[in-house]
């Protein structure tokens, strides 16, 4: 008997997606898996043919994949703060990555969070007040790394921006622990430990903030390096180092060698998903658990002549590779399998979406995002309603306004250098149309939209 595409999917899908979902509780559990420096273009389910991500790809096939998912700020600390609060950098006050040694010229890094950040309301604050048990595992990097607070009753975190994939120093519920082993496996083990304490009687929220594939590229198990020993990554479209390349420029000296190491880190991350999925199945929690996979910002890996992200260049860049991140939702029996949504969604939309799914009220904090849960569920929007065409971003002196067709990038309050990209004709952003008179109407409309967004969501 021949297999149809759908029956083949059922035969190869994760075990949790094969079983008939249990009757959902009043509120679903939520697991957010957050990868560090993982761009959507680096994954097989988003078109990459050279980096092996079979488990992430399979997760996308068992749920919904947002094909135009972007971040507000392409740098880790600021982006995470927006992801968890739903607020813009102008509002929450984290504008860059946190570091004890920021650089003055050009500005790179931020030494401290503002005092006002302590009063920010995160998704965990909202859910814990609604009766959720909340756990956080992994990289925090938003100040107070050893004791995140914000409603989390279980934490296993890295100390600040420390980076070591081997025998890391970690903090378990605020107390230092010297661990032995591979950081990524250790994080998964602690996530499993949290899940072991959960039952079907009370909802939970678990965020797992993996460091992969963030540098350094040393310290991953050898088997992952071996997988890419002969890879050349010819499809990536990398370029020699640009004259204005800044951060991690040395990695461009051996692009193929470093791509092999980065790919190894991505595949090592991919191998963590089945462990989490199996634990959910073993605990009988699959039917009422939403599993979300996302990235905190994108990455260039040699495209445009830069290696890292928004701060890879002077001036700051807002290329598609650095703002485009994966956003995958899987909820068995609720979200249709093998689905994708073309609507543009942003990191500031995540908090309203999770609140909507959990049946709790979104904080009254002048949020610019909205819930895309109806899109994920493939439900029609309310009569007369429509999903917004525009997404906006802010990173220090650089901002963008984007639709699925065009993107305007303004710097230094419009003084420049500025860019206008026709993404439909020029998806790799090679021809700047900012001074092209044929795009004048588009440019003015996007600038007016961006001005309005900035004015409304700066406080």
Residue 2 pLDDT > 70, yes or no? no
- DSSP states of 221-276 as a string? -HHHHHHTTT---GGG---PPPTTB-TTGGGGGGHHHHHHHHHHHHHHHHTTHHHH
What's the rounded mean pLDDT across residues 336-355? 98
CATH number attached to the domain at 27-386:
3.40.720.10
User: Tokens 């971003």 correspond to what residue?
Assistant: 393
CATH number attached to the domain at 397-459:
3.30.1120.10
pLDDT of residue 22: 39
Among 177, 127, 176, which residue's Cα sits nearest to residue 150?
A: 127
Longest Cα–Cα distance of the chain, Å, equals: 67
Model pLDDT for residues 302-315, shown as the tens digit of each residue: 999 999 999 999 99
pLDDT of residue 59: 98
pLDDT of residue 201: 87
Instruction: Walk across the sheet containing 398-402 and list its strands.
Output: 391-395, 398-402, 406-411, 419-422
Query: By the 8 A CB rule, do 138 and 74 touch?
Result: no
The CA distance from 291 to 35, in Å, is 14
pLDDT of residue 432: 98
Q: What is the pTM of this model?
A: 0.94
Any idea where the domains of the chain sit in the sequence? 27-386, 397-459
Residue 204 pLDDT > 50, yes or no? yes
* Pairing of the two strands 204-209 and 29-35: parallel
Residue 18 pLDDT > 80, yes or no? no
Query: Phi-psi bin for 304: left (phi > 0), alpha (psi -120 to 50), beta?
Result: left
Which band of pLDDT confidence, cut at 50, 70 and 90, is reported for residue 26? Answer: confident
What's the rounded mean pLDDT across residues 128-151? 97
Average pLDDT over all residues of the chain: 94
What's the rounded mean pLDDT across residues 86-111? 96
Model pLDDT for residues 5-16, shown as the tens digit of each residue: 444 344 444 444
Which band of pLDDT confidence, cut at 50, 70 and 90, is reported for residue 161? Answer: low
Model pLDDT for residues 210-225, shown as the tens digit of each residue: 999 999 999 999 999 9
Percent of the chain with pLDDT over 90: 90
The CA distance from 321 to 76, in Å, is 15
pLDDT of residue 160: 72
pLDDT of residue 373: 98
What's the rounded mean pLDDT across residues 356-372? 97
Residue 3 pLDDT > 60, yes or no? no
What's the rounded mean pLDDT across residues 173-192? 97
């Amino acid at each position: 008997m021949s297999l149809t595409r759908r029956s083949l999917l059922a035969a190869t899908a994760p075990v949790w997606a094969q079983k008939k979902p249990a009757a959902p509780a009043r509120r679903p559990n939520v697991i957010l898996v957050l990868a560090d420096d993982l761009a959507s273009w680096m994954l097989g389910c988003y078109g990459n043919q050279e980096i092996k991500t079979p488990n992430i790809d399979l997760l996308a096939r068992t749920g919904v994949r947002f094909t135009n998912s972007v971040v507000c700020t392409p740098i880790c600390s600021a982006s995470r703060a927006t992801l968890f609060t739903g607020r813009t950098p102008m509002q929450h006050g984290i504008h860059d990555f946190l570091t004890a040694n920021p650089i003055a010229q050009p500005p790179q890094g931020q030494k401290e969070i503002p005092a006002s950040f302590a009063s920010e309301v995160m998704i965990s604050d909202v859910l814990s007040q609604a009766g959720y048990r909340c756990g956080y595992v992994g990289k925090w990097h938003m100040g107070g790394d050893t004791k995140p607070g914000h409603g989390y009753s279980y934490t296993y975190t890295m100390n600040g921006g420390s980076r070591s994939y081997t025998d890391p120093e970690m903090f378990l519920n605020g107390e230092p622990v010297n661990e032995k082993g591979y950081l990524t496996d250790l994080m998964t083990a602690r996530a499993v430990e949290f899940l072991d304490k959960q039952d079907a009687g009370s909802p939970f929220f678990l965020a797992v903030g993996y460091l992969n594939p963030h540098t350094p590229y040393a310290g991953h198990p050898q088997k992952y390096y071996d997988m890419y020993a002969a890879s050349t990554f010819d499809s990536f479209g990398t370029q020699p180092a640009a004259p204005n390349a800044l951060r991690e420029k040395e990695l461009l000296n051996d692009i193929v060698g470093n791509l092999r190491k980065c790919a190894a880190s991505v595949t090592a991350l991919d191998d963590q998903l089945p462990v989490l999925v199996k634990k959910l199945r073993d605990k009988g929690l699959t039917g009422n658990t939403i599993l979300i996979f996302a990235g905190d910002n994108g990455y260039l890996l040699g495209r445009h002549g830069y290696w890292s992200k928004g701060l890879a260049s002077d001036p700051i860049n807002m290329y598609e590779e650095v703002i485009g991140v994966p956003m995958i939702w899987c909820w068995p029996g609720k979200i249709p399998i093998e689905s994708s949504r073309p609507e543009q969604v942003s990191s500031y939309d995540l908090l309203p979406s999770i609140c909507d799914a959990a049946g709790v009220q979104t904080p009254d904090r002048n949020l610019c995002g909205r819930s895309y849960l109806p899109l994920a569920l493939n439900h029609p929007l309310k009569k007369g309603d429509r999903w917004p065409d525009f997404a906006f971003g802010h990173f220090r002196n650089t901002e963008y306004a984007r639709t699925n067709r065009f993107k305007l990038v303004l710097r230094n309050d419009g003084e420049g250098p500025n860019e206008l990209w026709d993404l439909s004709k020029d998806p790799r952003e090679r021809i700047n149309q900012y001074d092209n008179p044929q795009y004048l109407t588009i440019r003015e409309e996007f600038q007016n939209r961006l001005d309005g967004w900035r004015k409304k969501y700066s406080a």
